[in-house]
Chains A and B, each alone.
Chain A
Amino acid sequence: MATRAARYLVSLACAALMALPVRAETGDVAAGEKVFQQCKGCHQVGSGATHRIGPHLNGLFGRKAASLDDFAYSKSFRRAGAGGLEWHADTLDVFLENPRSMTSGTRMSFRGIKDAQERANLIVFLRQFSDNPADIPEADPTAQGADHDLDPAILALVGDPEYGAYLSGECTTCHQAGGTDAGIPSITLWPEEQFVTAMHAYKNKQRNHPVMQMIAGRLGDEEIAALAAYFKDLTN
């Protein structure tokens, strides 16, 4: 009971933390233009932009990765595009933080931008050169995903690890309980809120893997919380 209570307090604390804006809602265009200086050696954007070492970045938002006919993409990028990677504020944010997290074989030799605000600034700068939702309503959002963030109530759910142990059978067919990550990622010892956030990202189809979308799509909020609570402490 003591551990349960402690866990409850911890998850309450996490929930309170997560209820704060996790990143800046908007970036600053002028600051983003400065950040873009780092990209300019290889990429052009704006009126008259053409491919250089990297592809031009006009119309980037909403575009499938590696989809411009007249640019020679790396195999890694072509595979990512074929796998459904599209450029939106959220995917760009992940990519810009560490380009190799998404496309391990990219020729883009860039260490990434660790500062979330700098990335947000760069993203709003680049966003100007894609379709405007006022003219083309289906164009990508310009709000920086405030409403994409998970409902704090979902993050506040306290999972039942016993139920999670039961449900985990579906996961351990592929993900090893011992935590090996060869070929298939490890899902043990994750902080609960990261686990829950990731699973809801599959459920909401923000992450692309079709099997994970299918599995997560069938799980309710309580079930995801239960799995997070179970895998959090799992050591074999």
Chain B
Amino acid sequence: MTLNRRTFLGTSAVAAASLAAPMVRAQGKPRVVVVGGGAGGATAARYIAKDSKGDIDVMLIEPTRTYYTCFFSNLYIGGFKEIDDLGHSYGGLAAGGVNVVHDWAVGVDRDGKTVALAGGADVAYDKLILSPGIDFVEGSVEGWDLNAQNAMPHAYKGGSQTELLKAQLAAMPEGGIFAMVAPPNPYRCPPGPYERVSMVAHYLKLNNPTAKIIVADPKPKFSKMSLFEEGWNTHYAGMVDWIGEDFGGNVVSVDPAAMTVSIDGEDTSVDVCNVIPAMKAGRIAEMAGVTEGNWAPVNAADMSSKTDPDVYVLGDASQQGDMPKSGFSANSQAKVCANAVRGALTGSKVFPAKYSNTCWSLIETNDGVKVGATYEATEEKIAKVDGFISQTGESADVRKATYEESEGWYAGITADMFGVEA
């Protein structure tokens, strides 16, 4: 039999695993430390603990006691969810054998293989999995910094910021202006800003129908653009003004004290301003020295860092190729990574990487759309193989079914992450 790349990858991974198998450790069980308890980290921690049946010590470091998902947070803004619907505790992971430590990771010593915690402890690892999500690029929107995030929230990490933006939306004066500064590529959740526009429009249509939405966008186009534009025309005619790169959407500054937004030299007073800055890998990835530019390059076969084979980077923080930064992607990557890490530490069988993603977006009540794809590991990157997207002009039944499917997915992925059935 002639080897093609896929079988070669598979067998070489198995061979590598069997080489690693005799690594008998003098001081007890192998240790995996996972930093970040979101879609990547929680899933990886849970799968390694579950599948190793106690043969690997798994520690998850996550500062928050309750994790608020960023995915579906737009539905809370639109009034389709309560904030508590988005909150998840780590009790299920603890019960599943993961040592959950609520602390900040503040440093990584890759030579000594330890992670420093804000609380003062150093924890040792054999394999380190970083899944820190995103941070913002300083200075990417002129006039905005973290000090301004109460006046002009980003609401692009789940939790208090999401609640703040919702409160500001509810407090808008009649006929007021909601502005959004959309982010440049690449960023978390490509359709997210536009689903948010839809959900804000939904809220305003019910509660403040003469209000307007302005979006300043540095990009010439965005994911599901024709679907969103169709939806905005159908459901929210005249409410949404999207200003793309061609019309100066990339020449933007804000003044949080005066509550003004300048787009292509023209100042506008606004009532709410949602600034979604440019993004980069969560800071611990940079501190660990595994980033190159804003993101952490990884190998497509197992999500290991291109800098250090004992460090893995999952989800939004990673630079892997064609997968969009999404909770679904992070969850998919986590399972590939968990399989590889377990194989390296215990000699269990390592299967070839298989990745997939789907992003659902809600445009209006029962009007859901989706885009998805499958991916494979090539030597160079994770490459898109095949995909689908909802079509414009679909029937109301199809759109309703798509929305219901997204509800099912939310229940599914959160159960998969946290080990608790909804």
Contacts and interface: CB of A to CB of B under 8 A. Distances in A.
**A in complex with B:** yes
Contact of B383 (A131, A137, A143): A143
A97 to B, nearest CB: 22
A20 interface: yes
Given A132-B322, A143-B378, A143-B385, A137 B4 contact: no
Contact of A21 (B4, B190, B385): B4
Measured as residues with beta carbon below 8 angstroms from the partner, the interface class of chain A is 20 to 34
Most buried by A among B2, B322, B375: B322
B389 interface: yes
B373 interface: yes
Interface in B354-391: 357, 359, 371-376, 378-381, 383-387, 389
Nearest to A147: B385
B185 interface: yes
B222 interface: yes
Contact of B357 (A26, A137, A143, A148): A137
Given A21-B4, A138-B223, A133 B384 contact: yes
A138 B376 contact: no
A25 B386 CA distance: 14
A117 B373 CA distance: 26
A147 B373 CA distance: 12
Nearest to A148: B386
A137 B359 contact: yes
Contacts of B387: 133, 137-138, 141
A139 B321 CA distance: 13
Given A146-B376, A147-B386, A138 B322 contact: no
A143 B190 contact: no
Given A20-B2, A141-B385, A26 B322 contact: no
B186 interface: yes
A133 B380 contact: no
Interface in B320-345: 321-325
A6 interface: no
B6 interface: yes
Contact of B386 (A132, A134, A135, A141): A141
B374 A147 contact: yes
B3 to A, nearest CB: 10
6 contacts: A26-B379, A134-B323, A135-B190, A136-B223, A137-B389, A138-B387
Given A134-B321, A134-B324, 6 more contacts: A133-B373, A137-B191, A137-B373, A139-B384, A146-B376, A146-B385
Interface of A: 20-21, 25-26, 131-143, 145-148
